[in-house]
Amino acid sequence: MNRMNLIQGVLCLALVFGIPAAGLTGEPLDQLKGTTDKVLSILADPALKGPGKAGERRELIRKAVDERFDWEEMARRSLARHWAQRTPEEKREFIPLFREFLERVYADKVEGYSWNKIHYEEERIDGDYAAIKVKIFTAKDQVIQVEYRTRKKGNNWMVYDLSAEGVSLVSNYRTQFNEIIVKSSYQELIKRLKAKSVQN
Partner 1 sequence: MKKYNLELMVGLFLIAGVLCLGYLSIKLGKMEVFGAKGYEVYAIFSNSGGLKTGSSIVIAGVEVGRVKGIVLEDYQARVALTLSRDVKIQEDAIASIKTKGLVGEKYLEITPGGSEKIIPPGGKIRETLPPVDIEELISRLLFEKI
- Contact residues for partner 1, defined by CB under 8 A: 76-77, 79-84, 126, 129, 140, 142, 149, 161, 163, 165-168, 170-171, 174-175
Shortest distance, CB of residue 177 to partner 1, whole angstroms?
Answer: 11
Q: Which is nearer to partner 1, 61 or 134 (CB)?
A: 134
Residue 51 DSSP symbol? G
Q: Which is nearer to partner 1, 61 or 181 (CB)?
A: 181
Output the smallest distance, CB 126 to partner 1, in A: 8
Q: Please name the amino acid found at residue 190.
A: I
For CA atoms 147, 152, 155, 161, give the dihedral sign: negative
Kindly state the smallest distance separating residue 193's Cβ from partner 1, in Å.
17
Q: CA-to-CA distance for 112 and 12, rounded, in angstroms? A: 47
Nearest to partner 1 of 61, 170 (CB atom): 170
Least Å from the CB of residue 171 to partner 1: 5
- How does DSSP assign 7-41, residue by residue? HHHHHHHIIIIIHHHHHHS-HHHHHHHHHHHHHHH
Check the CA dihedral 89-87-80-129 and report its sign.
negative
Dihedral (CA of 112, 200, 145, 72) sign? negative
Query: Residue 65 or residue 79: which is nearer to partner 1 going by CB?
Result: 79
